[in-house]
Every structure is written in C-alpha cells, then in structure tokens.
Structure 1
C-alpha cells in the first residue's frame, strides 16, 4: 500500500471532479450520481454541466457525498458513501434490505489511472468506513461483485470485489439479484456498533 495516502471528506468539488468528473464539462457521465440520487427521474434529467452542478451542491452538504484519497495534494481516488435512505438503494429491488437499521451504503470505489495497483482502494474503503463511523453510522453496506479472482472490466470495477471488502472486515450478509459484468453482486456488511 502507498504510505502517503490520506483520505478526507469529499467537500472540495474540484477534487471530486478530478477523479469522477468528465474530461469535457458538457459530457453526461455518471459523476457518481446514478445511485446517489433517490429519483431516477432526477438522475436522467441532469445532463452535461447540470450533473457537475448537482455534485457541487452535494459537496457543500453535511455530510458530503463521500471521501477522496490524496497522494500529497493530488486527488487520486474516490469512494461514494452515504446513508442508504438518501440513495437509490433505499428502493432498489435487486439489492435486498437485511433489516431496518439506518445503514450507510458504500457503492463506488474509483482510483485514477496512473495510481492503480498501489493499494489506494483499500485506503478508500477504510476511509469511507471511518467517515461513516464519524457520522454515527451503525453499519456500512457494500454491493461488490463476487468474481472469484477473475478479472473485472475496468468500467465495472467501481463496485469493488468481495475479496477487497472481506479484507476490510466486511462479511457477506445476503445474495442479491444484481449482476454486473457477468458476476453476481453480494451484499457485504461491516458492523460499526
């Protein structure tokens, strides 16, 4: 693992945009809003610069929409984490609800090209868990693929792998009806109580 990595709340829009934003401001990329917004209608309505504007608003909220990993002053990674009730996972029919706890969902871990394979994703998971704990989360859920060590396409790797979350202390809580890149997704949990 890279020793100099620091994970901080994602309250600086420019740093979030550097990791998950589009190369062109008019592009309609995910910008990590697809799961963060409860309404799919709102997600579809945000195109081009409006997506960045919405992320800017989220970065100004308390809590912000996730955490950013820094190598010195350079933003090198992102993890999206927020209370499940504020995300589309609150109503997602493919991802089950295990119980009625006010869990936090951790659904995206992204490391910038040129910084991958240095352990930054492990720092991001740990930092996201610490962020949730600091905000009173009783439990953190993640929905990674169970790829049994097989290669996951980089465009779909944002959900993480079961092995990475197990390494961070998460345990499988349930199967899901969701499949990504041909791999089943599992519901993993880490109890913070």
Structure 2
C-alpha cells in the first residue's frame, strides 16, 4: 500500500464501491486466499450450515462471484484512494436466510433495515482504528441506495480480549459506536444489535 493510501485511510477519506466483476480482484485481495476465514467467502449468512460446509472454499467463492453479477450487489469494497482496505456484506435482511432464522438475532421490529452482516478489514489495517471510517463509507453507500436505517450485529469482546477473524466477522461494537450507531437490543451479553438512522 502506498504512503498516500495509508494517510487517507487514517484520515477516514474512504469510499465504498459495489462488488462487481471489475472489483472482484480487490475483493480477493482483501479477503485473502482463505476467503476471509475458513473458506467462507462471505457466504456464512446466505447459506444453511450444510450448504456452507459443502461449498467451503471454492464452492463458496463461486457462489459469491455469481451474486456479484446480480442485483442488488452483495456488498461493497471500501477504498482509501484506489487501494481496497475493507469488505462489507450488506443488504436487506431477507438476503441473509441464516440471519433470518437466527433465534439470537431475530428481527426486533418491522423496520426496513439494511443489514451489515460482515465487516472484514484487510489484515494490514487491523487494529488501526479504521472500522468507524469504514462504517461511515458503508452508511453513505446505503443512504445513496435509499435505505432509511443500517443495522449491525457486532461482537463486544471481554475487556483485554481480542476476537478472532471468524468471530469478529460482524464487526466490533466500539467501532459501531464511534460511527454513530446506537444499541437497540442485546440478545446476549457480548452481542448487541446496533442501528444508525440515515434519514
């Protein structure tokens, strides 16, 4: 990454671009050879556990590539200049069957939310405090698509503990707070549901 891109990332000058054929290579660059964690390729919330396990690795990668050619886009890459620094999976809750079936993350009301189900920061930027700026860029994108509310499902690790890439895939609560989200429910001690109004 160039020095200019690092400075832009730290300053929060970020832009979200849809995952499409032309941004696919950047998606692979951000997620790495494992597709994020354990061959997920961000299909965790879109498939049953059996389907996800069967497709683990290249099957999940192919499934996400198909989604990148459809409407709506399955998510956005977030850039500092022309350098991809993060990936975010988002869309209507109905786009994520596993989320819809989750007893812990069941809908709290009928609001038409844009669900953020994964926030994956490039390994070169983890721990740099970039999450809030990434979420700001994602919210700008969601607002431009007419969503009134963005909803996230971050984890809140115990003090002094760090969440691994596979458990922190939904984001960290402190980053959501810094990005102007507020807690609207807490189905489990370490799993708040957070929202930000875009209207």
Q: Under a length normalisation based on structure 2, what TM-score does the superposition of the two structures give?
A: 0.80
Asked if residue 2 in structure 1 is aligned to residue 10 in structure 2, the reply is yes
Q: Separation in 2 of the partners of 1:101 and 1:131?
A: 19
Number of residue pairs the alignment of both structures matches: 185
Instruction: Give the deviation of 1:166 after TM superposition.
Output: 1.3
Partner of 1:146: 156
- Runs of 4+ displaced beyond 6 Å: none
SS of match in other structure, 2:16: strand
RMSD value, Cα? 2.4
Instruction: Give the deviation of 1:131 after TM superposition.
Output: 1.9
Could you say if the C-alpha distance between residues 21 and 32 of structure 1 is closer, same or farther in structure 2, counting changes exceeding 3 Å?
Answer: farther
Q: Separation in 2 of the partners of 1:38 and 1:50?
A: 12
Partner of 1:108: 118
Deviates more, 1:85-94 or 1:107-116: 107-116
Could you say if the C-alpha distance between residues 117 and 152 of structure 1 is closer, same or farther in structure 2, counting changes exceeding 3 Å?
Answer: closer
The structure with the largest helix share of the pair is: 2
Gaps in structure 1 of 5+ consecutive residues = 178-182
Instruction: Give the deviation of 1:39 after TM superposition.
Output: 3.6
Partner of 2:5: none
Q: Separation in 1 of the partners of 2:197 and 2:85?
A: 27
Partner of 1:53: 62
Partner of 1:191: 197
SS of match in other structure, 2:117: strand
Gaps in structure 2 of 5+ consecutive residues = 1-8
Q: Separation in 1 of the partners of 2:57 and 2:40?
A: 10
Deviates more, 1:62-71 or 1:78-87: 62-71
SS of match in other structure, 1:123: helix
Instruction: Give the deviation of 1:81 after TM superposition.
Output: 1.2
Q: Under a length normalisation based on structure 1, what TM-score does the superposition of the two structures give?
A: 0.83
Partner of 1:166: 177
Instruction: Give the deviation of 1:165 after TM superposition.
Output: 0.9
Q: Separation in 1 of the partners of 2:34 and 2:106?
A: 35
Partner of 2:80: 71
Q: Separation in 2 of the partners of 1:126 and 1:187?
A: 17
